[in-house]
Amino acid sequence: MSHFKPSFFLRAALLLATFPAVAPAEPGAAPAEGATALASPVVAVADMTAAARNLLAALDETQRAKAVFSLTADERQNWHFVPLDRQGITLGELRPEQDHLVYGLLGSALSAEGWRKTTTIMSLEKVLFDLENSSPKRNPEKYYLAIFGEPKAGQAWGWRFEGHHLSLNFTIAADATVSLTPSFLGANPGEVKDGPRAGLRALASEEDLALDLVRSLTPDQQKAAIVPGEAPAELLTAQEVRVQPLAPAGIPASALNDAQRAQLWQIIEEYVDRYRPDLTAAAKASLHRDGGKLSFAWMGSTATGEGHYYRIQSPQFLFEYDNTQNNARHPHAVWRDFNGDFGADLLKDHYQKNHSAK
């Protein structure tokens, strides 16, 4: 397979080993006193900015033309998670020393667990390549980087890393506040059945923790939590650019016992903790403030290996998971922000000053 760089997975494994270990918070625990100051995004933004500038400096003119867009370009919100051609520059179009710099940019934003999930999802393209008789659309280096605006301290910019079953979107405002959504991860196959990687499940925790929670509910709680009907064939928000709160459904967190609420927080953390903690402090603070208004809704079967869907909703955020395709072996999981997807709430002033923005 000449279009795969032979050292791709080795390089990814070596980079993973460089991530600092972060002690996990107690599930459902409130932020520690003083945590907001300690978890300012300023350092993370400086890291991202430096990593993006290092990468851009290594690109030639042709590569830069593919990789760089204006901040107000429509392309910034043209997100997908299916295997199609995209705008941006692929890992396959970079030299090895250049794609190291892409990994460095990813490493400036992701946690170790987020990096593991991201690279595992990318690696499943090789599994599909083998399962689908060397289909050319299956390629673990057909993941696209796009940078929007100029990475520079004190001004707004953004970037995206995207390909099949992966869409990571970052918007950085001039004051160093950051939007991390839409944040999409998927997996096909959801579980590798054969070969040396048999048993691998890239999104195991997102499914297993939610199954544990819905099965822990009493019959009365399940009546509230489980929405009648079959699980939808896809995430209800699909690939919409803007999302509104979905119709109220499910059981409120206030109707769960302490152990169940802790389980609910563990599910949320599987989505939020894809990123380094200094980037997620504001989101977690919002979720904790709205903790009493969280709801958990389930559709479909509660049996392992059968189609199901769930969502967790707060006044600001939505976490959606669907696993119905390919006989419930093809999960999709997304984190959305009703106010701030693509930094909509962060960039109001910027857009007002740039009339070309849509």
pLDDT per residue, tens digit, the chain (358 aa), is: 445 554 444 444 444 444 444 444 444 444 443 344 447 899 999 999 999 999 999 999 999 999 999 999 999 999 999 999 999 999 999 999 999 999 999 999 999 999 999 999 999 999 999 999 888 889 999 999 999 999 999 999 999 999 999 999 999 999 999 999 999 999 999 999 999 999 999 999 999 999 999 999 999 999 999 999 999 999 999 999 999 999 999 999 999 999 999 999 999 999 999 999 999 999 999 999 998 899 999 999 999 999 999 999 999 999 999 999 999 999 999 999 999 999 998 887 666 666 444 4
Q: Does 33 fall in a domain?
A: no
Residue range of the domain that includes 259: 204-339
67 contacts 146 by C-beta, under 8 angstroms: yes
Same domain, 159 and 54: yes
The reply to whether 272 and 330 lie within a common domain is yes
Residue 121 lies inside a defined structural domain of this protein = yes
Regarding whether 285 and 222 lie in a shared domain, the answer is yes
Q: Provide the pLDDT for residue 349.
A: 62
Same domain, 92 and 151: yes
Answer yes or no: do 219 and 312 share one domain. yes
Question: Measured between alpha carbons, how far is 89 from 67 in angstroms, rounded to an integer?
Answer: 5
Position 272 in a domain? yes
Question: Is position 172 within any domain?
Answer: yes
Q: How far is CA 268 from CA 34, 36, 201, 273, in A?
A: 22, 19, 18, 8
DSSP single-letter state for residue 301 = -
Q: The pTM is what?
A: 0.89
Q: In this structure, what DSSP letter does residue 322 have? A: E
Across-strand partners of 109? none
pLDDT at 8: 46
Assess if residue 189 is contained within a domain: no
